[in-house]
Amino acid sequence: MSEIELGPTRPLVPPLYCSAVYSFPDLDALEAVYRGQVSGFVYARDAHPNAVSLARSLASWESAKWCMVTASGMAALALTLMALLRAGDVVVASRRLYGRTLQLLTEELPRWQVHTYLVDLDDTAALAAALARRPRLVLVETLSNPTLRLADIPRLAQLCHEVGAHLLVDNTFATPVLCQPLRLGADFVVESLTKMLAGHSDVTLGAAFGREDEAWERLRRVCTIFGWTGNPFDCWLAERGLQTLAVRMQQASRTAQALADWLAQHPRIRRVIYPGRPDHPDHDLARRLFSGNYGNMLSIELAGGREAVNQFLRRQDKIVLAPSLGDVRTICTHPASTSHRYAPPEENAREGITDGLLRISVGLEPLEELQEAFRRGLDFADA
Ligand SMILES: *Cc1c(COP(=O)(O)O)cnc(C)c1O
């Protein structure tokens, strides 16, 4: 295929480079690219223009020195763990982690002789005891699912560094609009771009971030060798989504706050969990660590349990059941049936993950439309 001449013009929108491989005019050119003397690409699993461009935009968002784009959020976690850990290492992690992350830590990593101690971050004594085991890595989420508890990142970073551990933060629920963990002392960050960052539920991607060149070389190598690179089209879509991240998050946060306050007054709602409300256990921490927005995620407990949730879903079709988050439209999930399905019942009871609990990912609809959906969804007699 002959090259198209653009003359002095340039496309306003970054091109999509689907090519899995790049060609060279001669051996000298190939040599110069391999040695890094001139810029260029070789093979898309190693690097491609859409991933490099996306990584640049993302690194700036997270105040990171580097960013590696991966094929999913889980790939970003696997990459970071595989690149940094070795057999015999200990990991300390929050008990309240994304389900697949818990499986990765407790079911897969032991096969590589890496052992994880799960702790309740509220339990200072348990945390101190776990840190005394000299972990190489401590893993927490900025905002946990579905009870939206915050990690005190500055304090954790200090405790980690005292024992020589790295702090890795999964920032997916908060996004860099609310919080930039690397600025608060964390050493590494991972994000699922599948959620709010790409923002339209049409992409599966992740990213790992850090601030040391040494770790960057390790991650780049491991990503290429294990083959966790993200594909060009998804990177292109994610970069497009990223253009509106700030306005989407600000708008959704405003709506979520108003909706949370409104729902707290509703007779069929037993409990509202939102970090922007003074009755949230981590509200003061959220005021300190977050940018002034409290995010698009909120959880509510319907009086009437599972049947009330079913009624809510059947009586309105605006807020659909879809187990993800961060979309432009408001969606909800039922943690007891999905993310916390296999958790021990006594643990779910302690966390308040009941059959009536719904997690709402607020989108960009006007507040009134969502209120109307809740009015319709909650308008039944047998509550
Ligand atoms: C979705 C999610 C992940 C995994 O991301 P994928 O892109 O689905 O692999 C990791 N952590 C959190 C907190 C998530 O919500």
Model confidence pLDDT, tens digit, residues 9-60: 999 999 999 999 999 999 999 999 999 999 999 999 999 999 999 999 999 9
The pLDDT of residue 380 is: 77
Q: How far is CA 137 from the centre of its chain?
A: 18
74 lines ligand 1 (CB under 6 A): yes
Contact status, residue 339 vs residue 277, Cβ threshold 8 Å = no
204 lines ligand 1 (CB under 6 A): yes
251 lines ligand 1 (CB under 6 A): no
What spacing in Å lies between the alpha carbon of 265 and ligand 1's midpoint?
32
Q: Which of 141, 194, 235 to mutate to test the pocket of ligand 1 (most atoms within 8 A of CB)?
A: 194
248 lines ligand 1 (CB under 6 A): no
What spacing in Å lies between the alpha carbon of 144 and ligand 1's midpoint?
12
- Of 170, 187, 234, 327, which is the active-site residue? 170
- Give 383's pLDDT tier (boundaries 50, 70, 90): very low
Average pLDDT (234-246) is 98
Q: Whose CA is nearest to atom 6 of ligand 1?
A: 73
What atom of ligand 1 comes closest to residue 145's alpha carbon? 13
The yes-or-no answer on residue 355 being catalytic is: no
Q: Which of 80, 193, 195 to mutate to test the pocket of ligand 1 (most atoms within 8 A of CB)?
A: 195
The pLDDT of residue 214 is: 87
The yes-or-no answer on residue 45 being catalytic is: yes
Higher pLDDT, 350 or 88: 88
The pLDDT of residue 1 is: 62
SS (H, E, C) the chain: CCCCCCCCCCCCCCCCCCCCECCCCCHHHHHHHHCCCCCCCCECCCCCHHHHHHHHHHHHHCCCCEEEEECCHHHHHHHHHHHHCCCCCEEEEECCCCHHHHHHHHHHHHHHCCEEEEECCCCHHHHHHHHCCCCCEEEEECECCCCCCECCHHHHHHHHHHCCCEEEEECCCCHHHHCCHHHHCCCEEEEEHHHHHCCCCCCCCEEEEECCHHHHHHHHHHHHHHCCECCHHHHHHHHHHHCCHHHHHHHHHHHHHHHHHHHCCCCCEEEEECCCCCCCCCHHHHHHHCCCCCCCEEEEEECCHHHHHHHHHHHCCCCEECCCCCCCCCEEECCCCCCCCCCCHHHHHHHCCCCCEEEEECCCCCHHHHHHHHHHHCCCCCC
Express as a percent the part of the chain with pLDDT over 90: 93
The yes-or-no answer on residue 89 being catalytic is: no
Q: Whose CA is nearest to atom 7 of ligand 1?
A: 73
206 lines ligand 1 (CB under 6 A): yes
Q: Whose CA is nearest to atom 5 of ligand 1?
A: 73
195 lines ligand 1 (CB under 6 A): yes
The yes-or-no verdict on residue 251 having pLDDT over 80 is yes
The yes-or-no verdict on residue 382 having pLDDT over 80 is no
Q: What is the pTM of this model?
A: 0.97
Q: Which of 102, 140, 192 to mutate to test the pocket of ligand 1 (most atoms within 8 A of CB)?
A: 192
How confident is the model over 279-300, as pLDDT tens digits?
Answer: 999 999 999 999 999 999 999 9
What atom of ligand 1 comes closest to residue 205's alpha carbon? 7
Average pLDDT, the chain: 96
The yes-or-no verdict on residue 162 having pLDDT over 50 is yes
